[in-house]
Structure 1
Amino acid sequence: MWTGMGPQWSGTGARTVMELVQQAGERFPGAPAMIFEDGLVVTYARLLDQAERFAGYLRERIGPGERVAVMIGNRAEHMIAWLAIVATRGTMVSVNPAAKAHDAGHVLRDSEAIVAVIDPEHRRLIEQLRAECPALREVVVVGEPEPDGLSGVAAGTRPLRFSASDAARSDITNVYYTSGTTGPPKGCMVDHEWWLRTVDVLLRRVPSGPSDRQLCCLQFFYSDPGHQLLECLQVGGALVVMRRFSVSRFWDVVRDHGVTQILSFSSIPVFLLKAPPHPRDRDNRVRVARHLAMPPHLHRQIVDRWGFPWVEGYGITEGNLVAGMPLAYAEAMVGSGSIGIPVPELSLRIVDATGRDVAPGESGEFLVKGPGMFRGYLNRPAATREVMRDGWLHTGDLGRADSRGFLYFMGRSKDIIRRSGENLAAAEVEDVLRSHPRILDAAVLAVPDEERGEEVKAYVLPVAGESEATLSPDEIVAFCAERLASFKVPRYIEYRTADFPRTPTMRIQKELLRQERPDLVAGVWDRERHRVGRRA
């Protein structure tokens, strides 16, 4: 069902990330590589020059495979530092700029980073952590003005020209710490081929050129902005960068900077849709939005309101791109809930708990195998062996395929609630809750129950101006009962007055919700009693 995509590696023929960037700098020197929402423009030539200068500085400080932690927000020096580190055959370790002592300390210690490159506001935090991080030898603080904030430390050193870099395709370029559900986050290692595979598939899926501009509304420390930048560099386009995601600024940035492609995740379109309609909603140049985790019941509204296709996809850091909706089927599949079909050159199986392949329509775990997979978890060979068995990556994600081969994501295997012998997906209940016009977002967790094994607890974040006083638990329960089987209707409901803890891709961090207090139902509304639940 993939038509007109071209053969493998026709999207990019670069052998390494360095080669892609160096060739782009030569082909499009004066073109904008990054356009920030506040007006800062970084050309291809300037991006390459600054990265080569900082690479020259790092060349004397790190060796192949040694790790550099980067804790920088959405400013140009993040990308400059990344490219410089990789050019020296080092490995960048991304640290969330919102991290505090506990989580940042874990990443620094576990990765054994020897250099840290940070924003000025993180100087005090990193200095506090140095005593716990014996491997950390040097801290580089980004200066001003942007994008020349690393030029000061690089002054007097000879640049490392990317054309002379001896980076190898198999070098580990990045370590991304994935959220842990049963333990601390694990460092997921990726190499040049991982990046180039992503660029190749995405450019074959949505052919692009110098007139294209991609919107980046995510934080740079996540992996997606990196491949967005590389996609743009490959074809001569530009990355339009929001410093932070904002509903109120989103469409102004899209219109003002001529955005033609959007990458979107999780709750982003829900937030956008719940903003009041605007006469200029369709005043945009966007050709397509690639989205992960589109709420099926809102898909048609989203497409109709802004006037361009929002196509589903699915991927994980360990397995790279896994599935996507072909553009030829985008309109017909609106609202279906399908994440598309396996991307080219990828093998995918759906298996039950015994490892048996299931029939179409039956649910099971996604197993994938193909080019550009992750290289394992840093310092965790046992964890790597647990997910990589017989050449197949066991994703831990549940789904099914219909008779035509379209795939449907059904949730994490660890996000299935087992209530009185019935299995239900938290994601299904969340979709229903989010469809309520006065609920902005929701999260559903399993909580222990003596009689039923597990019960369903829902956290709801009402839209502005709403609260438990105006949107009662009884109303929420009745809304769910009209749309779900009785065993799926939440028993416990807790209201949020502040936003959920989130990942950089706007996914709710459920593991942090579970850690908020020992008893997750103490003081919480209980539909079986119509009063507060048991006290701790």
Structure 2
Amino acid sequence: MNIGEWISKRAMIAPDKPFLTEPNKAYNNRQFNERVNKTAHALGRMGLAKGMRVALLMSNSSEFLEIFFACAKTGLIMVPLNFRLAVPELLYIIRDSAPEVLIYSSEFKEKVSEIKAAGGVQKTYCLKGQGGEGDPDFSSYVEGFATSEPPEITDVDLPDPLFIMYTSGTTGDPKGAVLTHQNILFGAIHSLLGYGVDRSYKSLVVAPLFHIGALAASVTPIIYAGGSIVISSFYNASETLQTICRGKINYMFAVPVMYQMIADAPEWNDADLSHVHFFISGGAPIPLPVIRKYQDEKGVGFVQGYALTETGRLTSLDLDDSIRKAGSVGKEVFHVNLRIVDDQGRDIHTADPGEILVQGPNVFPGYWNKEAATGAVFRDGWFCTGDMGRRDEDGFVYIVGRKVEMIISSGENIYPVEVERALQSLPGIKEAAVVGMPDPKRGEVVGAFVIPEKDSRLSEKDVLSALSGKIAHYKIPKRVFFVEEFPRNQSGKVLKRILKKRAENISEQPNGL
């Protein structure tokens, strides 16, 4: 059974059970399945066939999921695009994945116009409303199609690609992680086994659906279990908290900064969260004070873990251990094997750190169009995560660092070389080195050390302003430090650990950030 058939099966088992709610809309299982089928027929009429790509530049909506499951039923490969990316970044992904069609929300029509002007994609549809010139209304187009199951549904199997989720590479170029129907199936199974999700559960989809966390934690497990979802977006903490209370939400996935903001909302003290079974936090470690605040004031605990775009959830830290084992990501989930190895690939059985290697049916098969990059991350059937970890005496895993120098800010992955390239493209900058700086809300933020060209009069404000539009907003440094030279080793490599320490010392000052 492919992922698209889950919707069909739920419509058969419990057709009248409420499935999806969003502002001014509500669908039961039967109604949602019919909408998915209409969308599947519409995509087929466009000439799209199994293996072709459909790119989505959309905010959270029921239509996003209708297209997702329509692709799943017909063997199309969805390419969700991060709408926070700048146009040059989006163009790279579009050219790499070569989608036959791009469907977008009207608020992104300016970006799409630039993409079209650059020859990025030939066929574009605006979801609804006023789109770009010549772009048909996709929602209106879909309405004329049949609600019957698409004939292609029987030709799609678990090993087939479901979507391509792009993640930054160590070289700075984004890499498309190809995730299959099987990968998502076992992600859902791990949620049911680990969290006890069942048909009575209602999840809030508030994290952006272009992220694996939103789809794999808030959507697919609920459908597999037979529960229901509420779709929203994180516009502000007060609105999200009110949605949780009004909708009697049982759980949601979000990054730590969202939970911090919710706890700081003026409605927090009066909010009744007795219906919440747990919250899932991902993207960055959640601070212990936040965990304690939720548990002490609202009686709500956090499920944490270790997950990657390429694998979904690999470990889980249960509610009962969230304080006792604070800082740990828990133990590997049921179908995952996890090793910690030294530089020679030998297993480490002590508490010493080593690289984390994993194996399991949720691990992706490889990167889109990148055979060499795929080969580099697999070793004798094990996926090499590039993350460093250790186990304690009870078998709990702790992430201690990264082989690559990735920065994680509010759940977004940022590789320094991406920012360094953008900085070094600016007139007046000779060289740039980027490091992560600790931040209490976002986990980390970007700090940039810059060697200016001789006679350059660039200021920090000038640099930050010039970066706008070149890279995504969350990648823009929060501080820029002008220096005459970088510390280097004998081979001339910049010693970033020294720069990072300098940045950390600055951030610890009262007005450091």
CA distance in 2, matches of 1:324, 1:91: 29
Q: Against the structure 1 CA distance between its residues 400 and 111, is the aligned structure 2 distance closer, same or farther, given a 3 Å change threshold?
A: same
Contact 2:348 2:354 in 1 (8 A): yes
Partner-residue secondary structure (3-state), 1:62:
coil
CA distance in 2, matches of 1:284, 1:195: 30
Q: Deviations over 1:219-269 (max 9, x none)?
A: 112223323222222233211222234212222111100011122223222
Q: Deviations over 1:8-33 (max 9, x none)?
A: xxxxxxx2102211101222222222
CA distance in 2, matches of 1:192, 1:213: 23
CA distance in 2, matches of 1:254, 1:283: 8
Paired residues for 1:408-487 under 5 Å? 408-415=398-405, 430=438, 434=440, 440-441=441-442, 443=444
Partner-residue secondary structure (3-state), 2:249:
coil
CA distance in 2, matches of 1:91, 1:416: 28
CA positional deviation for 1:527: 6.7
Aligned to 1:58: 43
Partner-residue secondary structure (3-state), 1:47:
helix
Contact 2:53 2:77 in 1 (8 A): yes
| 1:360 counterpart = 2:350 | yes
Contact 1:17 1:196 in 2 (8 A): yes
| 1:102 counterpart = 2:88 | yes
| Partner residue of 2:301 out of 302, 306, 309 | 309
Contact 2:61 2:232 in 1 (8 A): no
Q: Against the structure 1 CA distance between its residues 415 and 277, is the aligned structure 2 distance closer, same or farther, given a 3 Å change threshold?
A: farther
CA distance in 2, matches of 1:442, 1:185: 22
Contact 1:188 1:377 in 2 (8 A): yes
Q: Deviations over 1:130-171 (max 9, x none)?
A: 35446x3421221269xxx74421354445615761212111
Normalising by structure 1, report the TM-score.
0.74
Stretch deviating more after TM superposition (194-203 or 90-99): 90-99
Aligned to 2:419: none
Contact 2:449 2:483 in 1 (8 A): no
Contact 1:77 1:150 in 2 (8 A): no
Q: Which letter does structure 2 place at the counterpart of 1:28?
A: A
| Partner residue of 2:228 out of 238, 254, 262 | 238
CA distance in 2, matches of 1:178, 1:206: 27
Aligned to 2:286: 294
Residue ranges of structure 1 left out of the alignment (5+ in a row): 1-14, 418-425, 435-439, 451-492, 502-506, 532-536
CA distance in 2, matches of 1:20, 1:526: 48
Paired residues for 1:339-358 under 5 Å? 339-358=329-348
Aligned to 2:133: none
CA positional deviation for 1:444: 5.7
Paired residues for 1:116-127 under 5 Å? 116-127=102-113
Partner-residue secondary structure (3-state), 1:231:
helix
CA distance in 2, matches of 1:411, 1:151: 45
CA positional deviation for 1:203: 0.8
Q: Against the structure 1 CA distance between its residues 508 and 103, is the aligned structure 2 distance closer, same or farther, given a 3 Å change threshold?
A: closer
Q: Which letter does structure 2 place at the counterpart of 1:122?
A: F
CA distance in 1, matches of 2:84, 2:447: 27
Stretch deviating more after TM superposition (372-381 or 121-130): 121-130
Q: Against the structure 1 CA distance between its residues 520 and 379, is the aligned structure 2 distance closer, same or farther, given a 3 Å change threshold?
A: farther
| 1:225 counterpart = 2:214 | yes
CA positional deviation for 1:180: 3.3
| Partner residue of 1:111 out of 63, 74, 97 | 97
Partner-residue secondary structure (3-state), 2:387:
strand
Aligned to 1:256: 246
Contact 1:299 1:334 in 2 (8 A): no
Aligned to 2:173: 184
Normalising by structure 2, report the TM-score.
0.77
CA distance in 1, matches of 2:354, 2:365: 25
Query: How many matched pairs?
Result: 441
Q: Against the structure 1 CA distance between its residues 261 and 356, is the aligned structure 2 distance closer, same or farther, given a 3 Å change threshold?
A: same
Contact 2:449 2:481 in 1 (8 A): no
Q: Deviations over 1:447-483 (max 9, x none)?
A: 7799xxxxxxxxxxxxxxxxxxxxxxxxxxxxxxxxx
CA distance in 2, matches of 1:525, 1:164: 55
| Partner residue of 1:382 out of 364, 372, 380 | 372
CA distance in 2, matches of 1:449, 1:302: 41
Contact 2:343 2:354 in 1 (8 A): yes
Aligned-residue Cα RMSD (Å) equals 3.6
Aligned to 1:398: 388
CA distance in 1, matches of 2:473, 2:389: 20
Q: Which letter does structure 2 place at the counterpart of 1:170?
A: P
Q: Which letter does structure 1 place at the counterpart of 2:212?
A: S
Aligned to 2:416: none
Aligned to 2:203: 214
Contact 1:199 1:230 in 2 (8 A): yes
| 1:321 counterpart = 2:313 | yes
Partner-residue secondary structure (3-state), 2:297:
helix
Q: Against the structure 1 CA distance between its residues 519 and 24, is the aligned structure 2 distance closer, same or farther, given a 3 Å change threshold?
A: farther
Paired residues for 1:77-156 under 5 Å? 77-133=63-119, 136-143=121-128, 150-156=138-144
CA distance in 2, matches of 1:301, 1:150: 45
Partner-residue secondary structure (3-state), 1:252:
helix
CA distance in 2, matches of 1:384, 1:394: 10
CA distance in 1, matches of 2:147, 2:242: 38
Q: Which letter does structure 1 place at the counterpart of 2:444?
A: A
Contact 1:69 1:93 in 2 (8 A): yes
CA distance in 1, matches of 2:352, 2:83: 41
CA distance in 1, matches of 2:15, 2:504: 62
Partner-residue secondary structure (3-state), 1:368:
strand
Aligned to 1:47: 32
Contact 1:142 1:150 in 2 (8 A): yes
Partner-residue secondary structure (3-state), 2:366:
coil
Partner-residue secondary structure (3-state), 1:203:
helix
Q: Against the structure 1 CA distance between its residues 226 and 520, is the aligned structure 2 distance closer, same or farther, given a 3 Å change threshold?
A: farther
Q: Which letter does structure 2 place at the counterpart of 1:322?
A: L
CA positional deviation for 1:41: 1.7
| Partner residue of 1:513 out of 455, 477, 484 | 477
Q: Deviations over 1:401-459 (max 9, x none)?
A: 10110111223222399xxxxxxxx88x73xx52xxxxx44636687799xxxxxxxxx
Q: Deviations over 1:176-195 (max 9, x none)?
A: 11123431211110010011
Aligned to 1:71: 57
Contact 2:254 2:280 in 1 (8 A): yes
CA distance in 2, matches of 1:519, 1:352: 37
Stretch deviating more after TM superposition (189-198 or 233-242): 233-242
Q: Against the structure 1 CA distance between its residues 520 and 526, is the aligned structure 2 distance closer, same or farther, given a 3 Å change threshold?
A: farther
Contact 2:445 2:477 in 1 (8 A): no
Contact 1:19 1:163 in 2 (8 A): no
